[in-house]
Structure 1
Amino acid sequence: MDTASDREPRQERSRVTRARLLDAAVGCLAERGVSGATVGAVAERAGVSRGAAQHHFPTREGLLLAALRHMVESRSADLRRRADAVPAGPERTEAVVQMVVDAFSGPDFDAALQLWAAAASDPALRERVIPLEEQVGRAVHHAVVELLGADESIPGNREAVQATLDLARGLGLANLLTDDTARRRRVVAQWAVMLDRTLREPLPSTRSPRSTTKR
């Protein structure tokens, strides 16, 4: 009969194996795409048997979706750490923009892009992927608003923050094919200047005045 002390090491081994499988799935997705992220390939990369992989994730879809959730949690945790380290003063806006750009780059983002591409032609997968990516988008958007003190009730501010996220996604996509670090640095610096100016000097209201002409 198993005792509590016997079960604890087993549970820890199971947790470690699951984490290795998720990390391996992210790596396979980033490097080989969805077609290359098979259960066998993930198990081999994780250094476990195929049977052990299927014990934790009976289906390939379950493994890939768990990997996506793992990526979301990892990116969210990294965002929180970076947000805590954002400096005050004149360099703050550029540091925030760089934080956003970094949130949409790296192996986790590369792997997520592969799932996005697959979800574009797979309605069932798309239904599962969209809420998780929206979760990341909301977290990053909220962090930018909080860190820069952006008043989204002012015309143009919400759009400026959202444009920052869209810019970061675009740079992440471009970086998937080529290393454009130097160009990205210049883009980040220039966008920070423009964003700072927009938030400090908001656009006038775009709402049309009510007509006083009687009909």
Structure 2
Amino acid sequence: MAAGSRHRNADERVRIPRAERVAAMRLRLLEATLWCIVDKGYAATSTNDIVRRARVSRGALAHHFPTKAALVNAAASHLVAKRAEDFEARMAGLDPQQRTPEAALDILWSYYEQPECRALMELSIAARHDSELRALMSTWDDMFIEILRQEGAEYFTDSAAEKSMDVLLRTVAALYDGLSLYDLTRESHRKKIAEVRAFFTAMLIQTTIGESHG
């Protein structure tokens, strides 16, 4: 490689804005946190594991996230926000006649089939014995329900449906949380989950969504 090319490449690296470098490093830390929890569980995940996986220094971690709880909170919030963005994009990508409650529930369940879901499940279980983590979990739940509420507003247009929205959405979240604890790699479990989801969706459409449009 010519000397001029080496200098140009070095200059290009230097020109990367600091804000972009910091954002990229934070993203690596957040993703590494989630995958460490997926692989090892919350209790067994250490900050040393996370910095090794993210390929950052402990000093960089401490600068942005002074405690493990702060890091986990940011990672979980990042995952919820990422799901919200993807959910909105996938719903918007459907033809108008396909934007149904059934489609929304199918998209929502697809996230529970992803490995990252296990990280949130791990955190939910760990929160039972960790008061700081338990307080954070409440924040994530509220954020998740608000995202679902915004999307569900399209199907709940009368005042009665709006009043029941919170209970309905928390019921969906609770059911899907429970179903996700099954071993999703087993075909027998996947079949049972599909049957439960089909029954629940039909019941929901008949008793709630059908009434709101009746």
TM-score, normalization by structure 1: 0.75
Preserved CA contact (<8 Å) 2:121 2:177 = no
Code of the aligned partner of 2:200:
W
Code of the aligned partner of 1:153:
A
Worse-superposed segment, 43-52 or 110-119: 43-52
Code of the aligned partner of 1:23:
E
Aligned position for 1:56: 64
Preserved CA contact (<8 Å) 1:104 1:168 = yes
Aligned position for 2:4: none
Preserved CA contact (<8 Å) 2:34 2:119 = yes
Which runs of structure 2 are paired with 1:88-103 in the superposition (5 Å)?
A: 88-89=96-97, 92-103=100-111
Q: Residue deviations 1:118-153, cap 9 Å, x none?
A: 21112222112211222102321442342x346450
Residues of 1 paired with 2:51 and 2:162: CA distance? 51
Runs of 4+ in 1 over 6 A off after TM superposition: none
CA drift at 1:69: 1.7
Residues of 2 paired with 1:162 and 1:86: CA distance? 25
Residues of 2 paired with 1:144 and 1:22: CA distance? 29
Higher share of residues assigned helix: 2
Aligned position for 2:191: 182
Q: Residue deviations 1:131-187, cap 9 Å, x none?
A: 1222102321442342x3464505996455543333222222224685633333333
Code of the aligned partner of 2:191:
A
Give the count of matched residue pairs. 197
Residues of 1 paired with 2:81 and 2:151: CA distance? 15
3-state secondary structure, aligned to 2:160 = coil
Q: Residue deviations 1:69-117, cap 9 Å, x none?
A: 2122112212222332345447833212212323444233211111111
RMSD: 3.0
Worse-superposed segment, 50-59 or 126-135: 50-59
Worse-superposed segment, 98-107 or 131-140: 98-107
Residues of 1 paired with 2:84 and 2:179: CA distance? 19
Matched, 1:153 2:160: yes
Aligned position for 1:139: 147
Aligned residue among 200, 206, 214 for 2:210: 200
Structure 2: state its 5+ residue gaps.
1-13
Identity %: 28
Aligned position for 1:163: 171
Preserved CA contact (<8 Å) 2:87 2:107 = yes
Code of the aligned partner of 2:27:
A
CA drift at 1:190: 3.2
